[in-house]
Structure 1
Amino acid sequence: MKLITILIPAYNEEDVLEQLYERLNTVMSRADKYDFEILFINDGSKDRTLEIIKEMRKTDPRVSFVDLSRNFGKETAMSAGFDYARGDAVIILDADLQDPPELIPEMINYWEDGYDDVYAKRRTREGESWFKKWSSAKFYKTLQKSTRIPLQADTGDFRLLDRRCIEALKTIRETQRYTKGMFSWIGYNKKEILFDRNPRAAGETKWNYWKLAELALEGITSFTTFPLRISTFFGVFVSLSAFIYMIWIIFKTLYFGESVAGYPSMMVIILFLGGVQLLTIGIIGEYLGRVFNETKNRPLYFVDEYNEEKVQGQRDRFHSRYESGV
């Protein structure tokens, strides 16, 4: 029978894990034509998350876990899951139950029909503020306009990926990761399904507005150089405007005998040009910082424990090179 891995990144999710397991167990019992692996990625949790996962594994051999050496963030935790997942297909599912596991059978059906990436698009989003919904919509709209890669708006990580999609994602070892964009970048045959997103079943969200802003910046700088082009166009516009204004001042002074503009106008121009320069330097700095991080060539993560066995090193870039004979 085909093996399907349900990949679940978890960070301080002790309040919801038992409920999550019960619902997954119900779903898996109905899909008895498949074998399942529930792969938890413990991303440096400080509560009883890892302890609860180990208790589940004692009674259910389908449960596996990867315990990262510290908190690396959800994007990197998913990358670790891709490296350790054994399934013919991988379903990414958040632990908070905002994405309903009951959609898994429908995803599997479309996968059997030949689709490689079956992604769930949010039709409604309960439990989220209007500002979060509005800012999310604006972000996806802006990102889509700034890149040629077709992106799935209002879509999270909840999706089924065929093994060849997973193998493709495993080759992308960027340290500054925006996985939602990577799903689109690798291509393959995609299928959209709609669902109504629920509020968290328990616990508190780990994504505040500051972290969401960081993720948005990561997405923009990871998949487009459009901000750099804006800086270039804006610089050309300001320079051309300044040149035209300079010609006008010279002409007015020579032919009308008027004095050059005084202190207020000069200060306005100086401050404006200084602000443009600082903004441009900041944009360049964001990209330069990402180049700096990539040139370090550090592993994405380190694993402390995999299924109750201590791990030496990690299954990362070097593991992939070893398997390919490089």
Structure 2
Amino acid sequence: MNLFKLPLAALLAALLAAPLMAGATQSSCAEPFACIRQVDAGELNVGYVDAGPADGKVVILLHGWPYDIHSYTDVVPMLTGAGYRVLVPYLRGFGTTRLRAADGVADGEPAAGGADVIAFMDALKIDRAILAGFDWGARNAAIAAALWPERVQGLVAVSGYLISSQQQASQPLAPEAELQWWYQFYFATERGRAGYAANRHAFARLIWQQASPRWQFDNATFERSAAALDNPDHVAITISNYRWRLGLETGQARYQALAARLASLPPISVPAITLESDANGAPHAAPQAYAQRFTGPYRHQQVSGGIGHNLPQEAPRAFADAVIAVTQF
């Protein structure tokens, strides 16, 4: 396209539609979440928010399922106001993040998610970062911290140490605990795959309500995030994630070595803060069950006030304060 031959209005439209260069700051964007950037990173082309000063300490915020980057809408300005550069990527299968290869594998195994974090950092030429997340995002962050500690300055993880193995997941739980994982068993069936594909927004709303029973989110808040589930890879990656946990999928050969290391439940030696909320309706372990997995500077914090599973969106100040605190250990 020859921009010099375009009328002024068309020229402006073309410039606004053009992809932004990876690594540049978003200082000219009044609303960071309206300026989604894209970068090739490993298997993925990742959509992400980039906010704050270019020379600030880097914080990468990782969302969960079935949520999206808007879990951090209120956290981001708190951190950028404190001088941090904040990156918020869509996880694989969400929003504008896509598999790069037309024949790419929609793999949801944990090792892939952890590797995605490092690939994203490599793509943006970030040597070290503070990682923070909840749900799938907390797991991805914990995996990166355990396997690549030299790349992680600090870790904030909701619900603690979420690394597990297929062998560990194969052990039966008490009936009331198994009941909390109803969707995992649903996804093990083809009926479940078809049901999720046909009803992903309604499904997500139900999970939000169960996981955060006291959070009175409005429809606009929900729909803003639910749009990220319309990603063409989303259903396959979600099904892969939960089937892998039950040992129904083996994962890709490229991640076997990483998966083997994760099966040993490696310790996390980087400075870490774990958070738990007082009204978390999603399955989660008691803090004393995972405290010994953190071998570096560590503390646990309980967040009260009827806060549910989506802690950064429900209690953004507590989450942002934990990110700031972990850098001061």
- With structure 2 as the length reference, what TM-score do the two structures score? 0.28
Q: Higher Cα Rg: structure 1 or 2? A: 1
- With structure 1 as the length reference, what TM-score do the two structures score? 0.28
